[in-house]
């Protein structure tokens, strides 16, 4: 059995400000570094065979702080980056709420309908994320594997394995910074979500 540990990156200054990141590259802030070091302690029992990380700086820093001391192979994966949000990136959410209220409403409340010009849809995000994750699953043959990525990306992946439509993308639990989710991959069945943002129960396709 392979256990895929899906971890969101630590906090950045833009997270704290409510500023849209997407593909923009930002380092962890002091709290984000502390969160990653806390993850290192919380997951000290893990002996991952490999660590995969989005090529975004915030994900790579989180991976290095939490797992860099283990001496395992680190694999950067471009396709694990966050949803691309075009010319929204760099603006505060409250600014975009004023200029594009209908698009922001779709993003937050009808994610399956979000289709802003130049940006990725959530279906496109999910498709590229699943392709990357399926390549990782095909490569690994047991043990613990770490994947450090982003909030929306991880939600779309978990939604797929929970058989949950993208219309329900933002339902609880909250995908907080350094949230830890687990996907179990067994040879005798489909991958199964056994932990969602640190919770081991209270979620699922039938809830």
What residues act catalytically? 9, 82
Taking CA atoms, 118 is separated from 85, 96, 111, 114, in Å, by 7, 15, 16, 12
User: Regarding beta strands 143-149 and 50-54, do their DSSP bridges make them parallel or antiparallel, or are they unpaired?
Assistant: parallel
Task: DSSP letter for 146, please.
Answer: E
For the residues of 30-99, what is the DSSP string, one character each?
HHHHHHHHHHHHHTTT---SEEEEESSHHHHHHHHHHHGGG--EEEEEGGGSPPP-GGGTTSBHHHHHHH
Hey, what are 187's tokens?
């040879």
Hey, what are 82's tokens?
């966050």
């Amino acid at each position: 059995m392979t256990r895929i540990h899906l971890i969101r990156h630590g906090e950045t200054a833009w997270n704290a400000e409510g500023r849209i990141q997407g593909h923009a590259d930002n380092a962890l802030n002091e709290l984000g570094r502390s969160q990653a070091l806390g993850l290192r302690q919380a997951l000290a029992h893990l002996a991952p065979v490999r660590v995969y990380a989005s090529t975004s700086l915030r994900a790579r820093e989180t991976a290095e702080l939490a797992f860099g001391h283990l001496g395992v192979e680190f694999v950067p994966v471009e396709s694990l980056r966050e949803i691309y949000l075009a010319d929204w990136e760099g603006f505060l959410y409250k600014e975009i709420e004023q200029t594009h209220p209908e698009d922001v409403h779709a993003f937050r409340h009808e994610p399956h309908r979000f289709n802003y010009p130049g940006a990725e849809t959530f279906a496109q995000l999910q498709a590229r994320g699943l392709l990357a994750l399926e390549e990782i699953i095909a490569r690994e043959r047991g043990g613990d594997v770490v994947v450090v990525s982003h909030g929306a990306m991880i939600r779309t992946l978990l939604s797929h394995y929970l058989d949950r439509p993208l219309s329900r993308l933002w339902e609880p639990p909250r995908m907080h910074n350094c949230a830890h989710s687990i996907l179990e991959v067994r040879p005798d069945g489909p991958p199964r979500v056994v932990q969602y943002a640190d919770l081991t129960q209270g979620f699922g396709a039938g809830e």
